[in-house]
Amino acid sequence: MSIEKRARKLREAIERHNRLYYAEDAPEVDDAEYDRLFRELEALEAEHPGLRTPDSPTQRVGAAPLPQFDEVRHRTPMLSIANAFDEEAVGAFDRRVRQAVGADAVEYATEPKLDGLAVSLTYRDGLLVQGATRGDGTTGEDVTANLRTIRNLPLKVDFSGEVRGEVLMYRRDFEALNARQRAAGQKEYVNPRNAAAGAVRQLDSRVTATRRLRFFAYAVVSESSSSTHSQGLDRLEKLGFPVCEERDVVAGVEGLLAYYASIGRMRERLPYAIDGVVYKVNRLDWQERLGFVSRAPRFALAHKYPAEEQATEVLGIEVQVGRTGALTPVARLKPAFVGGVTVTNATLHNEGELRRKDVRVGDTVVVRRAGDVIPEVVSVQIERRPTGAQIFQMPAKCPVCGSAVVKNEDEAVHRCSGGLYCPAQRKQALLHFASRRAMNIEGLGEKIVDQLVEKDLVHTPADLYKLSSKALSDLERMGEKSAANLVAELERSRDTTLERLIYALGIRNVGESTARDLARQFGDLEPLMKAAEEELLQVPDVGPVVARSIRQFFDEPHNRQVARNLVKAGVKWPRTAPAPRPSTPVKTFVLTGTLDTMSREEARAAIEAKGHKVAGSVSKKTDFVVAGADAGSKLERARALGIPILEEKEFTEMLQNL
């Protein structure tokens, strides 16, 4: 037999064994025989490099570590799916869908909600050319080398385009991994999802290759050869992509609930972890018509299963200060095994929830892992409450920095007002300060900020401008050149604009647009810091909530001092006189739906060019709502509030006269 023919036979045999093990769960050979075949192919390709093909099984073994992942911008956003936790929410979803498409009954594609890591695969001329994580939905990480190591993921298929799916780890493979970790004296993984996600994001793909990961496809992007979602999945399966066998097509809300119950009964017997099921409108043209709301599709819903619960004792209640200043009461628990993990802490969310559930120190409580991840206290077993169980009171001062704790009427949470000063908020404050739309300090990323805070080199943003090249070069992964570059970036950032500086301060509820309006209204930092709530309310689009947030921020002496220290450090901007009040009232518009003669961006620009405002949501302060085709909930909100609604023709006529 020729060398070429032997290599081809080996490739076919290895891929067949991969399919039997990973896709069909029916291996025919043991690991030793599989490894023998694999080593023979590796040796042939090493001796004759011309035999190595892009789709060879040997290309799954991983390569040398990468310094970092490149960013991948998704051509179509990878959106999250809205959740439902009861039958009422499922019924409401079905009603909304039927009303939107004008049908008496709707067919849905259903499948288990796999608990893994969402990824996108791009094929060109039949070959896998790029694989990316979901990331923030808009931008992910290029993990192509790692995804190539997954043995049931096709490297070569008769397909060009984008496929999306989930990378996960079977329970048995997860248990075997943790057994190896224990034997090696290394830290065990919390659950299969964490293990899979960590493996996909390994810088060294050779490590990824040692994990028995699996891929399941759940969608084709911009599907044109099928008329339904289920047909698209069937096509993927025929092409050789692994697709979940437990999928189905059902009719109406009755079919959805029956499927939910059916999968629930077999949940514990499934080889992989799930936390619910997913419903998708089956017809693709109806999916397109339904579109999206915020960051989720209107045509899909995730119906979650109740999390595993366990009873345990509350040993104490403490307060944690989050990166945004939110104070969260946390129950310290007698260790309990919940959802496969030993739980010693559980969130009580906020004071309102704590009071509603009436949780006290000494109580026996029911704990569950919300969404199978975050432990929370569900309820109190009042009948087991001991005499003298202590009622917890939220602190008046931040337990970390001593700043005043504030709670606004419209919010459920208490917050530390320390902002720029509070150590618990320090890293978040510095990262926000350095972000692109704020002071735009390139090179000041999370790892550098972590070290600056942990080594006690930086306490507030003003301290950044005291850093020397010597201090920075002593940090991990910071050579002399990188340190000099960062110092130069800090020096450049001293010249900024007032609106950027206001935004960089990280005042709650003050975004870029509000920062711009504040800069125009006050012209300088000192007048803004001294402005009363009544003065702030004169700024366009600043309502009571935003005005209160600004006033609370500058009422804290620490924050005023940091702002002034920034000026002393040389941060400067072009001074301007406060903006004169407009001679005609500024109107606020909200855009919804699709316009025929212009895009939403063009409509926004036209309104702002006339000196008026465009808001993202409808409120009592909205003057007009411009409604195009397929307008959604904003139109309903406008009608409920009695706000004038303009059709496109009326809007274009008004534009000429504004």
Section 336-349 average pLDDT:
81
How far from 429 is each of 101, 157, 218, 433, 507, CA to CA, in Å? 46, 47, 38, 6, 10
- pLDDT > 90? residue 501: yes
Section 285-302 average pLDDT:
87
Residue 603 has a pLDDT of: 85
Residue 630: how many other CB atoms lie within 10 Å: 13
Pure H helices in 128-215? 144-147, 171-183, 192-200, 205-209
pLDDT in tens, 95-136: 999 999 999 999 999 999 998 899 999 999 999 999 999 887
Distance CA 174, CA 188 (A): 10
Q: What are the b/e assignments for 192-217, b being 16+ CB within 10 Å?
A: bbebbbebbebeebeebbebbbbbbb
Residue-averaged pLDDT of the chain: 86
Among 5, 113, 481, 587, the one annotated catalytic = 113
Section 57-69 average pLDDT:
59
- Name the nearest CA neighbour of 90 among 276, 229, 308, 295: 276
Residue 498 has a pLDDT of: 95
Dihedral in degrees, nearest 10, Cα atoms 148, 198, 165, 370: 170
Residue 504, both tokens: 């960089």
Q: What single DSSP character describes residue 23?
A: I
- For β-strands 296-297 and 300-304, DSSP reports them as unpaired
Pure H helices in 55-148? 87-101, 144-147
Backbone angles phi, psi at 349, to 5 degrees: 70, -70
| Dihedral sign computed on CA atoms, order 434, 435, 437, 442 | positive
418, 556 contact by CB (below 8 A) = yes
More confident residue, 223 or 625: 625
Section 157-171 average pLDDT:
93
pLDDT in tens, 309-322: 788 999 999 998 88
Residue 494, both tokens: 């001293």
R_g (Cα) of the chain, nearest Å: 29
Q: What are the b/e assignments for 70-82, b being 16+ CB within 10 Å?
A: eebebeeebbebb
Return the residue matching tokens 């085709």. 629
373, 276 contact by CB (below 8 A) = no
Q: Within 13 Å and on the Cβ side, how many CA atoms surround 105?
A: 8
256 confidence band (pLDDT: 50, 70, 90): very high
Distance CA 348, CA 354 (A): 6
Residue 146, both tokens: 């790692």
Instruction: Sheet with 107-114: list strands edge to edge.
Output: 83-84, 300-304, 274-281, 107-114, 248-251
Q: Which amino acid is at 383?
A: E
Section 336-353 average pLDDT:
83
Backbone angles phi, psi at 614, to 5 degrees: -125, 125
Section 197-214 average pLDDT:
86
pLDDT exceeding 90 applies to what percent of the chain?
Answer: 42
Whether 113 sits among the annotated catalytic residues: the reply is yes
Mean pLDDT lowest among 354-368, 392-406, 575-589, 619-633: 575-589
Section 605-627 average pLDDT:
82
Residue 438, both tokens: 């704020």
Residue 487, both tokens: 């110092």
Residue 295 has a pLDDT of: 67
Return the residue matching tokens 């509350």. 314
Mean pLDDT lowest among 29-43, 467-481, 566-580, 639-653: 29-43
**Residues 6 or more apart in contact with residue 296 via CB below 8 angstroms:** 79, 80, 81, 82
Residue 155, both tokens: 């490297």
367, 309 contact by CB (below 8 A) = yes
- Name the nearest CA neighbour of 175 among 198, 151, 194, 192: 192
Residue 442, both tokens: 């390139």
- pLDDT > 90? residue 327: yes
Helix 171-183 / helix 192-200 crossing angle, nearest 10 deg: 80
Residue 494: how many other CB atoms lie within 10 Å: 14
Distance CA 68, CA 74 (A): 19
DSSP assignment of 140-163, as one string? EEB-HHHHTT-TTS-SB-S--EEE
Which domains can be identified in the chain, with CATH numbers?
3-60 (1.10.287.610), 83-304 (3.30.470.30), 309-384 (2.40.50.140), 400-581 (1.10.150.20), 588-657 (3.40.50.10190)
Residue 39 has a pLDDT of: 76
